[in-house]
Chains A and B, each alone.
Chain A
């Protein structure tokens, strides 16, 4: 059974719209993260949460808002979508705020 679930797997959106990317982890971890990976670029850290509290935000735009309704959930709301937002968005988790992270399968977002 998958330990980190991301929904949807693929997402196509139009410019200016709003989407929510879902992430749930069943590893019992206390820290969760969002990363973005565009074609031919390194993984880019976006947010980190620990015990449902925002610990770090490396995303310059307020259009990206993480939402944590439960300790094992960390969704990502993206508003006013732009074509440059097209990327694969990975959710990850770790036991605490250090150590290696376990990644979900990703949501591939395409903004037209």
Chain B
């Protein structure tokens, strides 16, 4: 299929880390993006990955395995304000028409 799948919810603790997983169809891969979206607001771009491996962007890091159709967003040194929905947007065929996952709602507890 051409879907993008993410877990609906994730909980973690302030000061620790959280990993948001995303699986997607491997056909026609053009790259995969991660966004943060707060309630009632627009998505905010975090990272775009096309190469396998870990891409370290400080507070946010992303990992990609193209052969497995798998990516994750890693948030370290969590703060309460990191509580938000995290969206994965992946390929959906040869042309560029991204498919968004339903988002993972991350709740960071004190």
Residues of A within 8 A of B (CB): 41-45, 48, 55-56, 58, 90, 97-106
Q: How far is A19 from B22 in the complex, measured between Cα atoms in Å?
A: 36
- A91 nearest in chain B by CB position: B42
CB distance from A48 to the nearest CB of B (A): 6
Contact residue among A42, A56, A101 (Cβ-Cβ distance under 8 Å from B33)? A101
- B98 engages A103 (CB within 8 Å): no
Residue of A42, A55, A90, A102 with highest tally of chain B CB at under 10 A: A42
Give me 24 A-to-B residue pairs in the complex whose CB atoms sit less than 8 angstroms apart, sorted by A's number.
A41-B102, A42-B100, A42-B102, A43-B43, A43-B87, A43-B100, A45-B97, A45-B100, A48-B97, A55-B95, A55-B96, A56-B95, A58-B97, A90-B43, A98-B30, A98-B50, A100-B46, A100-B47, A100-B48, A101-B98, A102-B45, A103-B43, A104-B42, A105-B42
- A57 nearest in chain B by CB position: B97
Using Cβ atoms and an 8 Å threshold, which residues of chain B touch A103?
A: 35, 42-45
Give the number of chain B interface residues (Cβ < 8 Å). 24
Residues of B within 8 A of A (CB): 30-31, 33, 35, 41-48, 50, 87, 89, 95-103
